[in-house]
A and B are shown apart, each in its own frame.
Chain A
Amino acid sequence: MSLTTAAPQLHAEALTIGYEQRVISENLNVRIPEGKFTVIVGPNACGKSTLLRALARLIKPRSGQVLLDGKSVTSLPAKELARRLGLLPQSSIAPDGITVADLVARGRYPHQKLLRQWSVEDESAVAEAMEATGVSALSGRLVDELSGGQRQRVWVAMVLAQQTPLMLLDEPTTFLDIAHQIELLELFRELNLDKGHTLVAVLHDLNHASRYADHIIAMKDGVVVAEGAPRRRHHRVLGGGSVRDGLQNHR
Chain B
Amino acid sequence: MSRLDPGKRVDFGRPVAVVRNRSLSLRLDIRSMLVCIPLLLAALAVAVVSLATGDYEVSVQQVLQAFTGDAPGLAQTIVMEWRLPRVLAALVFGAALGMSGGIFQSMTRNPLGSPDIIGFNTGAYTGALIVMLTVGGSYAGVAAGALVGGVLTALAVYLLAYRRGSQGFRLIIVGIGISAMLAALNHWLILQAELEAALAAAVWGAGSLNGITWEQAAPAAVVVVVVGLATLVVARRMQLLEMGDDAARALGVRAEPTRLLLLILGVALTAAVTAVAGPIAFVALAAPQLARRLTRSAGITLLPSAVMGAFLLVSSDLAAQRLFAPIQLPVGVVTVCIGGIYLVWLLAREARKS
Chain A residues engaging chain B, CB cutoff 8 angstroms: 1, 20, 56-58, 77-83, 86-103, 105-107, 109-110, 112, 114-120, 122-124, 126-128, 130-132, 139-142, 159, 162, 194
Contacts and interface: CB of A to CB of B under 8 A. Distances in A.
B252 A93 contact: no
Contact of A126 (B10, B13, B20, B298): B10
B13 A93 contact: no
Interface string B237-268: 00110111011011111100000000000000
Interface of B: 1, 3-4, 6, 8-14, 18, 20, 23-27, 109, 164, 233, 236, 239-240, 242-244, 246-247, 249-254, 292, 296-299
Nearest to B109: A93
Given A95-B298, A101-B11, A124 B27 contact: no
Nearest to B296: A97
A91 B4 CA distance: 31
A105 B10 contact: yes
A213 B318 CA distance: 68
A54 B24 CA distance: 36
Contacts of B242: 93, 95
B252 A109 contact: yes
Nearest to B249: A58
B19 to A, nearest CB: 8
A122 B25 CA distance: 10
Nearest to B28: A118
A187 to B, nearest CB: 14
Nearest to A80: B252
B113 to A, nearest CB: 14
A132 B13 CA distance: 19
A89 B299 contact: no
Given A20-B164, A96-B298, A117 B25 contact: yes
Contacts of A92: 243-244, 246-247
B4 A139 contact: no
Contact of B4 (A110, A114, A124): A124
| 10 smallest beta-carbon distances between A and B, as pairs | A140-B13, A82-B252, A98-B298, A95-B299, A89-B246, A79-B252, A87-B250, A99-B13, A118-B27, A92-B247
A125 to B, nearest CB: 10
Contacts of A141: 13
A80 to B, nearest CB: 8
B253 to A, nearest CB: 7
Contact of B251 (A102, A106, A122): A106
20 contacts: A58-B246, A78-B253, A90-B246, A92-B246, A93-B242, A96-B299, A98-B298, A101-B12, A102-B12, A106-B239, A118-B20, A118-B25, A118-B26, A120-B25, A124-B3, A124-B4, A139-B10, A139-B11, A141-B13, A159-B250
